[in-house]
A and B are shown apart, each in its own frame.
Chain A
Amino acid sequence: MGLTRRDWLRAAGALGAAGLAGCTGTGGPDGGGRRTAAPGTGDTTATATPGTPPPTADRSLYLGHAVDHVDENLVSGGVPKDGIPSIDDPTFAAAGETPVADGDPVFGVARNGEAKAYPQYILVHHEIVNDTVGGDPVAVTYCPLTGTAQGFERGETTFGVSGRLVNSNLTMYDRGTDTWWPQVLATGVRGPLRGETLEEFRVVWTTWKQWRSAHPDTQVLTEDTGYTRRYGDDPYGDYNPRAGYYDDGRTLFSPLVTDDRAHPKRVVLGTRTTEGALTFDEPTLLDERVLTGDVAGTEYVAVADAALSTGYVYANPDGLTVTAEDGGYRVDGGTHAADALPLDRSLAFDGMWFAWAGFYPGVGYVR
């Protein structure tokens, strides 16, 4: 098994102080963390072109509050802009060369034949990774306080942590236009691109063991981030097993709206469309495998992916029957994998109940 950067550094420390300067961080030796060459680019280093906006979508997403209201409720998270530093020069190791425990959460991205895992214990200290996956420049983002991991196309710019929160949610800024983007809303609320919607892609919240089983060739983000942190120390709590902030009934900041239909930290799989938003209770979905709800009169069906302990949501305007069976789901006479039903998929992601309820007052909750 290869050495991780941390193993390498510890060995180096034991040998003495020789090579002390520059032995970590950007430009340091690889150690065990192997720099991954992105197809067509030769590097994963993310650079931002001043003035260049991130790609935005043609359609807008439903917002449960007016943009003005969201803007007015941006609060300081207690750190300045970039006080939490994004990772702009990520390095990766092979699956067998990481200290990540089997049950630890990772955020998985599979794109254009390339699979990458971003461990939660690293992202809790950075929240944003500006990376290149499958040849595409992307940002993989994580908000510890709302339990949301989301992916965004970044084009020629990069995203940073603004230091502001709304509804406890990470508010990103893009380094091209300095527009502020609450992560869950994926919508600009302050700056030149106010009201615009970011292009998103699915990030799967799962465990390292499950992701590695599904994607044996995956690469995994290393601690060689260019910053030095006590990466084993999560300031908010623990996910393996769940404890601290991630488990208790309190929120650190006041939600935009409080909804007691579920425990504030209950994990729900949510989706939002142009017309509205909808959430599915994730433990119930994993148990029952198929749940249905509706957004503005259109049926949406959620199906479970037991291999990754996650789910996918599809628009089902014709009300086709979706049933679980061995090996997948029966739809319209055929059997399909959870992530490949012959329906229009609606981007969905995990999040804490209070976050979805706060952003989308009165949101449908299927359980």
Chain B
Amino acid sequence: MSGELSSDGAGVTDRLGALLARTQVAVRGALSRRDGRATLATATVVYLALYLFGLGHLGLGPWGWELSVVADPLARATRVVGPFQWEPVALVVAGPVELLLSPLNVALGTGLAALVGVNLAVSVVAYRGPRACRLGAGAGATAGLPALLSGVACCGPTVLLVVGLQASATVLTVFQWLLPGAVVALVATLLWVGTKVDPAAV
């Protein structure tokens, strides 16, 4: 029995390893092309900006130039102010642009943005070069969906004012799980792309 379990476990590990390898091939293939790299860079920057805008950390304000940092920024940086939100430690004003810098939110946003970027890069390359992968245009849309989902998650209850939805315990609980849910969805989408790749064609 334990032998069967061991055998099954090894099978799963092998399959997962193969899946990761195929995904790695797909990502490498996508990023070896100029359009793949351009998609990754553009999507990452745009999504990070949207994420920070959704948090209220990025926006327009009165014209000026400013750089200010709170006292004891290291301690402040880990202070939780909301689900997956941490205390800003600095304010940067560059012309009309205001940016609150919360290091942990910038790190989280960059990670999310990179995941979205890789998803879109693979999908775009797959769509434009069907010989490398067996993907259709639907992959891009699939990758974009969790990206949008996590974009909503970062806004918190304030977004309810925009969509006209009333907050409730259920809605707020769902909000708390949107961001990790989006991460899982993005990773799953990437792995799914891996299953569609024909390594021999890359």
A75 — nearest CB in chain B belongs to which residue?
B169
Decide: B69 and A254 in contact? CB cutoff 8 A: no
List which B168-189 residues lie within 8 A (CB) of chain A.
Answer: 168-169, 172, 175
Decide: A253 and B167 in contact? CB cutoff 8 A: yes
A316 within 8 A of B: no
Decide: B82 and A79 in contact? CB cutoff 8 A: yes
Residues of B within 8 A of A78 (CB): 82-83, 156-157, 167, 172, 175
Q: A227 and B87 in contact (CB under 8 A), knowing A6-B66, A76-B172, A251-B166?
A: yes
A51 within 8 A of B: no
Decide: A27 and B83 in contact? CB cutoff 8 A: no
Q: Number of contact residues on B: which range applies?
A: 35 or more
A229 within 8 A of B: yes
Give the residue of B61, B65, B71, B85 whose beta carbon is less than 8 angstroms from that of A230.
B61
Could you count the A-B residue pairs with CB atoms below 8 Å apart for me: how many are there?
121
Decide: B70 and A83 in contact? CB cutoff 8 A: no
B90 within 8 A of A: yes
Decide: B81 and A232 in contact? CB cutoff 8 A: no
Q: A17 and B67 in contact (CB under 8 A), knowing A25-B72, A230-B61?
A: yes
Decide: A80 and B80 in contact? CB cutoff 8 A: yes
Residues of A within 8 A of B71 (CB): 22, 24-28, 226
Residues of A within 8 A of B76 (CB): 25
* Cα–Cα distance between A21 and B169 once the two chains are bound (Å): 40
- Residue from B69, B166, B168 having most chain A Cβ neighbours under 10 A: B69
Residues of B within 8 A of A235 (CB): 56, 158
Chain A binding site: helix, strand, loop or mixed by DSSP? loop
Residues of B within 8 A of A10 (CB): 64-66, 93
A257 within 8 A of B: no
A23 — nearest CB in chain B belongs to which residue?
B68
* Cα–Cα distance between A79 and B85 once the two chains are bound (Å): 9
A296 within 8 A of B: no
List which B141-178 residues lie within 8 A (CB) of chain A.
Answer: 156-158, 160-161, 164, 166-169, 172, 175
The interface bits of chain A over 51-93 (1 if a CB of B lies within 8 angstroms of the residue's CB, else 0) are 0000000000000000000000001111110011100000000
Decide: A228 and B91 in contact? CB cutoff 8 A: yes
Residues of B within 8 A of A229 (CB): 88, 91, 100
Residues of A within 8 A of B87 (CB): 85, 227
The interface bits of chain A over 215-232 (1 if a CB of B lies within 8 angstroms of the residue's CB, else 0) are 000000000001111101
Decide: A228 and B161 in contact? CB cutoff 8 A: no
Decide: A14 and B65 in contact? CB cutoff 8 A: yes
Decide: B80 and A228 in contact? CB cutoff 8 A: no
Residues of B within 8 A of A111 (CB): none
Q: A228 and B81 in contact (CB under 8 A), knowing A77-B157, A250-B166?
A: no
B171 — nearest CB in chain A belongs to which residue?
A78
B166 — nearest CB in chain A belongs to which residue?
A254
List which B50-109 residues lie within 8 A (CB) of chain A.
Answer: 56-57, 59, 61-62, 64-73, 76, 80-83, 85, 87-91, 93, 98, 100
The interface bits of chain A over 251-272 (1 if a CB of B lies within 8 angstroms of the residue's CB, else 0) are 1111000000000000000000
Residues of B within 8 A of A252 (CB): 157, 160-161, 166-167
Q: A254 and B89 in contact (CB under 8 A), knowing A79-B82, A80-B80, A228-B70?
A: no
Residues of A within 8 A of B66 (CB): 6, 9-10, 12-14
A244 to chain B, nearest CB (A): 7
Residues of A within 8 A of B157 (CB): 77-78, 252
Residues of B within 8 A of A24 (CB): 68-71, 91
Residues of B within 8 A of A12 (CB): 66-68
Decide: A21 and B56 in contact? CB cutoff 8 A: no
* Cα–Cα distance between A21 and B83 once the two chains are bound (Å): 28
* Cα–Cα distance between A22 and B202 once the two chains are bound (Å): 53
B81 — nearest CB in chain A belongs to which residue?
A83
Residues of A within 8 A of B61 (CB): 230, 232-233
* Cα–Cα distance between A25 and B71 once the two chains are bound (Å): 5
B70 — nearest CB in chain A belongs to which residue?
A25
Give the residue of B62, B64, B98, B169 whose beta carbon is less than 8 angstroms from that of A76.
B169
* Cα–Cα distance between A233 and B59 once the two chains are bound (Å): 9
Give the residue of A84, A85, A228, A236 whose beta carbon is less than 8 angstroms from that of B90.
A228
Residues of B within 8 A of A23 (CB): 68-69
* Cα–Cα distance between A80 and B61 once the two chains are bound (Å): 28
A201 within 8 A of B: no
7 additional contacts, CB 8 Å, given A10-B93, A233-B56? A13-B93, A26-B71, A28-B70, A75-B168, A227-B88, A230-B61, A232-B98
Residues in chain B within 8 A of chain A (CB atoms): 56-57, 59, 61-62, 64-73, 76, 80-83, 85, 87-91, 93, 98, 100, 156-158, 160-161, 164, 166-169, 172, 175
Residues in chain A within 8 A of chain B (CB atoms): 6, 9-10, 12-14, 17, 20-28, 75-80, 83-85, 226-230, 232-233, 235-236, 244-245, 250-254
Q: List 5 A-B contacts (CB under 8 A).
A: A9-B68, A12-B68, A25-B69, A75-B172, A251-B166
Top 6 closest pairs, chain A to chain B, by CB? A25-B71, A25-B70, A10-B66, A13-B66, A13-B67, A78-B157
